[in-house]
Chain A
Amino acid sequence: MTALARFVRQGVGWILPLLLLVVWEVAARLGEIPKNILPAPSDVGAALWKLSVSGEIFRHIYVSSWRALTGFAIGGSIGFALGLANGLSDASRAVSDTTLQMVRNIPHLALIPLVILWFGIDEEAKLFLVALGVFFPIYINTLHGIRTVDPQLIEMGRIYGMSRIALFVKVILPGALPSIFVGLRYALGIMWLTLIVAETISASSGLGYMAMQAREFLLIEVVVLSILIYALLGKLADSAARLLERVFLKWHPAFQLQ
């Protein structure tokens, strides 16, 4: 009872998930939830312990994170660069924007069969899909951010004799940043989603592979474990983006309510 009271004091928000967990555990123990539908939380914990001791889980997490971040870095930097170029130069936009907007209408996951034909099930296939998925939100939002910077501020910068570089660094880029962050957070979501799908379909390592292997051997607690780890990694990426937002957008009225 005292433990429960402490939890209540620490945060009412934790009561419900905790209660669910307890109900889930009890129901699983009593056989109310069949073992082949959902394992008990304690079974998932045991699976985590076993895979941690063998070190297997860390290898999968490492491989998946590496794929996610590398694909993100490739797609994100190309999207950012093209967004900048097309936002700043009318000529560049005239040449490439229509094409990019057309390609955008193809769901990138629909390319999976083609990508497997091109790259097999090697790393390139997964990096390509993640990069492609991440590219568009970053591109679109960078472009949009730059195109919608207040023209009165740009005129002010010109009046005060800012060079093109100063104008970019002091006016255009900071003005586009809120929109770029929207793209960043959206892209991080797409990044994990793409990777989950790609790893589930074709991989010989990584969390998705771990889940698929476990499914074959009916290790349902490992399947649930990999889902939870995906969720955790996604949350981690989102928190990192929020932190960056707090640092870079601290001037923004939305971030000034302490």
Chain B
Amino acid sequence: MADDRESYSPNLIRMWRAFRTCKEMCKDRGYEMLEEDYQITLAEFAAKCGREDGDVDRSRMNFSCVPSEEMLRKYTAPPTAKNPDPQPEIGKIWVEFNGDENVGLKQLRDYMQHLVQGSYYNGVMVTTKPMTGMALRLLRGASGIKEGPMGGVEVFVEQELLVNITKHELVPTHVLLSKEEKEQLLKRYRLKETQLPRIQVTDPVAKYYGLRRGQVVKIIRHSETAGRYASYRWAI
């Protein structure tokens, strides 16, 4: 209603959609997020990130957020004798929109340095085009490597974020299990995690939720005949 689309450039509208998807993604992963933040209108977005010439200033789209109590709990392993006070394996995230025509090792390494210096736990980098092969190679080995942030770097291409795939009616609800919940599940059914059906971490839905190898998600579906039912997948 308030958004008179014809008065905005197509690129600004595009970036507004990518921005909203990113915000929703962070909210859905469990970060703290205000409703007005992820439901930003086009007019508000244009006022915040629009340039004089009608295009978008990507540097003004960057944002960070912190995990909610619930998310911190979910990412904390149950205490053991060896580790009586486990720390959450999650923290502050930095989301950056890079407008460069080509993104390679240089930008990625600068970005990683920025995350480490700002003590971010992990980062999401959104690029206009896919990164170079070598940058992706660095990324594959990046998490846990001294030069990068503890939680690694995820990359998205703007195109992937124009729609929020999890809002599609055919995509069932995915809920991440905590380590404790995962252990309970396996114990209850006397399973090894390798016996669970799998989901690849590169799967678009897994990527949206930032699933890590070894995590288990509960998938809740709705069926006309069976009602609500759930299954589990082990992320590989």
- Same complex: no
* A residues with CB within 8 A of B: none
